[in-house]
Amino acid sequence: MKVLFLNTLLKFSLVPRKYPLSSDPLTLSLRKEIDNTILTPAISFIVGQKLEITITTQPSDFKVLNKYEFELKNGSEVIYLGRIQILKAGTNTQNFEYGSQNGRFEY
């Protein structure tokens, strides 16, 4: 699972099934787990030892504790499947407790 923080650069790295060329058209599809909303944000990428993906504009649907399943495609070929969770900027992910972000989920 990749963790992205609100109000910071939305950047993450991964090791795909097959590395793309720098000229290949990559598309990122995000499916919100709660209501199956599909987002396709604009991305840029750098190919190195890992593939670094940057979401260039933050989608308005990104809210704290939202979870997304994502699919990265090179043309029509799926090269990576994964999940993303959105947290507040500055969250300590090593000592993260799920209810610490807001009162939406009370136990």
DSSP sequence for 48-105: SSSEEEEESS--TT--TT-EEEEEEEETTEEEEEEEEEEE-TT--GGG--GGGS-TTS
State the CB neighbour count (10 A cutoff) for residue 14: 14
Give the model confidence (pLDDT) of 40-85 as tens digits.
999 999 999 999 999 999 898 898 889 999 999 999 999 999 999 9
Name the band, by pLDDT with cuts 50, 70 and 90, for residue 95: low
Task: Place domain 2-90 in its CATH homologous superfamily.
Answer: Immunoglobulins (2.60.40.10)
Residue whose C-alpha is closest to residue 50's, from 10, 16, 75: 16
Measured CA to CA in angstroms, residue 36 lies from 16, 39, 70, 83 at distances of 24, 10, 11, 13
- Amino acid, single-letter form, for residue 76: S
pLDDT of the residue at 65: 87
pLDDT in tens, 9-50: 999 999 999 999 999 999 999 999 999 999 999 999 999 999
Per-domain residue ranges for the chain?
Answer: 2-90
Q: What is the pLDDT of residue 48?
A: 93
- Which residue's structure tokens are 């993450």? 12
How confident is the model at residue 21, as a pLDDT? 95
Biggest distance spanned by C-alpha atoms of the chain: 48
Residue 107: per-residue pLDDT: 43
Per-residue pLDDT, 38 = 95
